[in-house]
Amino acid sequence: MRILFLAPEPFFELRGTPINVRHMLQVIGEQGHQVDLLTYHIGKDVRLENVKIHRIPGIPFVRHVPIGPSFVKLPLDCLLLLKALKMVLSCRYDCIHAVEESVFIAFLLRRLFHVPYIYDMDSCISDQLAYTGKLRSRYMLKLIRFLEGIVIKNSAVVLTVCSALTEFAIRIAPGKKFFQIEDCPVGIPAAKKTVGRQELGVGEDSIIVMYVGNFESYQGVEMLLESILLVTKDEKNVKLVLVGGEQKQVQKLKLLAGGLGVLNSVLFYGKRPVEEIPSLLAAADILVSPRLKGTNTPLKIFDYLASGKPVAATRLPMHTQVLSDKVARLAEPDAQHFSEALANLVRDKTLRGKLGEEGKKLVESEYSVSIFRDKVKKVYEFVSQG
């Protein structure tokens, strides 16, 4: 098949959706489909089999696109629409694969040129706008929810990444064909130079609690710092390592850590090259996801599990649709309960080993790269027959 793949984001950058897009493109290309990827002007070119990258014209004042919904995406998506129109006029595509809000562009192209589209629903747009606080108008949110229903109903097929999104889409269009394709571990090749305790400056007698990801408010990093305050009252050997975050966010969290009196127990390691992530996870004793809002399972969860290290996470749907008490230590989303879960893991080395082993078994049996490939193959078989 000849596929126009719409990705309204910087590509490639090391963050959730671009990583998922790279996985998807790699699998589609390996299966012999010819893919034209249309994306933003920002990002690093990557070489993928049977994939050609096309970019929108650069906008001089836009050099960074923040994570999640933002007004800076509006002019970029307008340029994405114009270039998509030009590409469809110059090439006959069998299908459009539309990620997140680019589905509205795909819907328009379907109406104009009768090209079927796949809605790659990585998140619920209206829900994301609500919980990030980017859109507060109740009427606008209702309008967007209505438009989401239209694009779901008119798609050839809908891809979701978790059961919460599947249930949402089924409520809107019960007769639509859905494929639930969860993320899988990134599978990053380890760097020749690894990052261990020595590079982190953490002694062998310390217990490393590690968070990897962005520092947006919905991730619950502030709550995590409050939890560390409670944990370190009794467990002096605990060190929290925070990997990621923009400079302004890091400074804000440093001030919070200082105000809580835990700055000496927290290491801000900043953004790191992707090749360092495997060794960072290996250096940790406990991996955490204190996320407070959202529906889709954080991509980091699959890499956490694959590392064989124990996971502590909030007992919320974005986690519990993958994690259970058998494979992780789950806690209510507040500092008191989360600190109790952490303290439990800190004190019990046997439990840490058991949870790490069970988590690795889970990801290998249900969320492996081979399972991801098989699911994507079934999607395109279905579309090609339709």
Domain boundaries, the chain: 2-184+368-385, 197-365
Characterize the bridge pairing of strands 207-212 and 95-99: unpaired
Q: Is the pTM of this model over 0.85?
A: yes
For 217-236, what is each residue's pLDDT tens digit? 999 999 999 999 999 999 99
Alpha-carbon distance of 134 to 347, in angstroms, equals 41
Burial of 344 from C-beta contacts in 10 A (0-12 / 13-18 / 19+): middle
Which candidate, 122, 102, 168, 134, places its Cα nearest to that of 297?
122
Burial of 274 from C-beta contacts in 10 A (0-12 / 13-18 / 19+): middle
197-365 matches 2-184+368-385 in CATH topology? yes
What pLDDT is attached to residue 304? 96
For 373-383, what is each residue's pLDDT tens digit? 999 999 999 99
- CATH of the domain spanning 2-184+368-385: 3.40.50.2000
Alpha-carbon distance of 382 to 303, in angstroms, equals 29
Q: What is the DSSP string of 47-58?
A: --TTEEEEEPPP
Instruction: Tell me which amino acid residue 167 is.
Output: E
| Greatest C-alpha distance within the chain | 67
Rg of the chain taking only CA atoms, in angstroms = 21
Fold of the 197-365 domain: Rossmann fold (3.40.50)
Could you say which residues of the chain have pLDDT below 50? none
Helix (H, G, I), strand (E, B) or coil at 266: strand
